[in-house]
Amino acid sequence: MDLTLASVTALMRDTLVAPRDTATRIMDMNPPDDARWLGFVIVVVLSVLVGQASVLLLGEAAFGGSLIFMAVFQTMILLGLVVAVQTIGRRAGGSGTFPDALLLLAWLQFVMIAVQIAQLVVLLVVPPLFGLVTMASLAIFMWLLVNFTMALHGFTSALKVAVGTVFAFFALAVVFAIVLTFLGLVPQDMQ
């Protein structure tokens, strides 16, 4: 596996242009489980650092005030997404495995970190375009998630996967809101 800047940049470009084929290539690399988990941890750390940098650049208060809290929160969200993609896909007749779901979603998150950095640059350089870039970022995320899920599970209908993904997001959001409420982590405005 070649991890030079040129090869990673090329893989990111391929991910955006042909996500399903690139996801298959990534799975075919078949890194050991330790490397998959290490990649997961690295993207969590990078996500927290980029998130904190964006908060500081915007002059806003840090979420939760703690990098540890943010790391735990980011880990829960990303790991929940890995489990959901693997479990829901399997129940829908897919053949994906947890290690491959972990690998693909760690890579997806890495690509989205690059997109988030681009968003920050746009916000600092051309603020009026920030909303448009944010919508494009959401579209990129959904595009990649649907295609990665198709590659992971061997699905052939992008429409079915997209609809399933949207419904799963709503269901998971409700469950997540209930869990956060039971843990006493509700927004200040709602107390």
Domain limits of the chain?
5-190
Cβ neighbours, 10 Å, residue 185? 11
- Contact between 107 and 72 under an 8 Å Cβ cutoff? The reply is no
- Please state the length of the chain: 191
- Compute the distance between CA of residue 146 and CA of residue 157 in angstroms, rounded to an integer: 10
Write out pLDDT tens, residues 40-78: 999 999 999 998 888 887 776 655 567 888 898 899 999
The tens digit of pLDDT for each residue in 154-183 reads 999 999 999 999 999 898 889 878 887 888
pTM metric for this prediction:
0.88
Angle among Cα 89, 178, 84 to the nearest 5 degrees reads 10
What is the rounded CA–CA span in Å between residue 67 and residue 53? 11
pLDDT at residue 146 in the model: 97
